[in-house]
Structure 1
């Protein structure tokens, strides 16, 4: 992971050495020192410090993402964007779009212009001061 020493320091207060055990090819068992309601987040893919990778993983996580979800990484360009294609080997229901693309922006104004110009379909977070112009646009739906 990107910052494995940070992840280890987080887990050091939760798990004793040897408290993680491989049960089978699809199951990992964790024995916590005490109850912790945040533990599922701490080991989820939403927390980039805690993604479980194979022991033989060679690194370069950002470009060789190894996952089991409904999409597979097609292309990743740092500071530019990433595209994903449907994972036909996914165990669950197939994703409805065959492909999805994320464009990375460093500021909100280019995101708003791309939305208004039809280059993007969604902006995930919109600061209130920046939303004033979009709130009166009949072509834009703001969901809070």
Structure 2
């Protein structure tokens, strides 16, 4: 009887070691500091609207959001925007991604010359590429 229990325990340990071998290479321990900015993963489920985003072309991550405090080793409380008020603000570390701000991604806006009737004239700055398409009776520049 004791031999069968020992054999079962040994086989359980062998199975756990085998499973650990497959899991460990992909695992990375991620931790964040309080006050750090992170992105929140929004899973694009079919027909599911969360965070007012829906569809295949919806962004995968939203944010950045600031970490208010660490609830547990793998749970963080975020400072969500007021538009996400109905969503609970504690998330698992697997749903968070570190936010790396890049100065090159900031879009610089040029002021528009708006007329009194709130319209403006749109003019291209430069034509980058053009081609000539032939129809049956004429050719059109595109």
Common fold by TM > 0.5: no
Higher Rg:
2
Flag the structure with more relative contact order, 1 or 2, with Cα contacts below 8 A and sequence separation at least 6: 2
* TM-score, length-scaled by structure 2: 0.17
* TM-score, length-scaled by structure 1: 0.17
